[in-house]
Amino acid sequence: MLLNIFKSKIHRVKVTQAELNYVGSITIDPNLLEAAGIYEGEKVQIVNINNGERLETYTIKGERGSGMICLNGPAARKVQVGDTIIVISYAQMTPEEAENYQPTIVFPDENNQLPHA
């Protein structure tokens, strides 16, 4: 049996763009994707803190260092620029793998940038 387990998340980033006339997906700064261990093309869940909307889409890389968070296609109707969202990824694991798995959580600043170590 495989379980769907919380793998990682980018916690509380601000939407910088919403592009209705695009094929689909969410465009994210690669710095954020890499820090969270989320791959380009990976299925993610988007949770909008401002309006309670939840949706699923896939990721594409934006411009590195830009802080870009852009909902594309139909998902653009579920957000407003400036909304705060959470980007969540899941992975299938056996119960044994899930037992000791520790998810990665990334906490960007108010400009969608990673804090300096």
- The set of residues, in sequence order, having a beta carbon less than 8 Å from that of 109 and lying 6+ positions away, is 115
Q: Output the domain CATH number for residue 98.
A: 2.40.40.20
Structure confidence by residue, pLDDT tens digits, 42-99: 999 999 999 999 999 999 999 999 999 999 999 999 999 999 999 999 999 999 999 9
> Active site residue: 8, 22, 25, 66, which one?
25
Q: Please state the pTM of the whole predicted model.
A: 0.95
Determine whether 22 is an active site residue.
no
> Active site residue: 8, 22, 39, 58, which one?
58
Q: Note whether residue 111 is domain-resident.
A: no
Segments forming the whole domain that contains residue 62: 3-106
- Grade residue 117 by pLDDT with cuts at 50, 70 and 90: low
Structure confidence by residue, pLDDT tens digits, 34-50: 999 999 999 999 999 99
Determine whether 66 is an active site residue.
no
Q: Note whether residue 63 is domain-resident.
A: yes
Q: Note whether residue 114 is domain-resident.
A: no
**Residue pair 48/83 in contact by the 8 Å Cβ criterion:** yes
Name the DSSP class of 85.
Answer: E
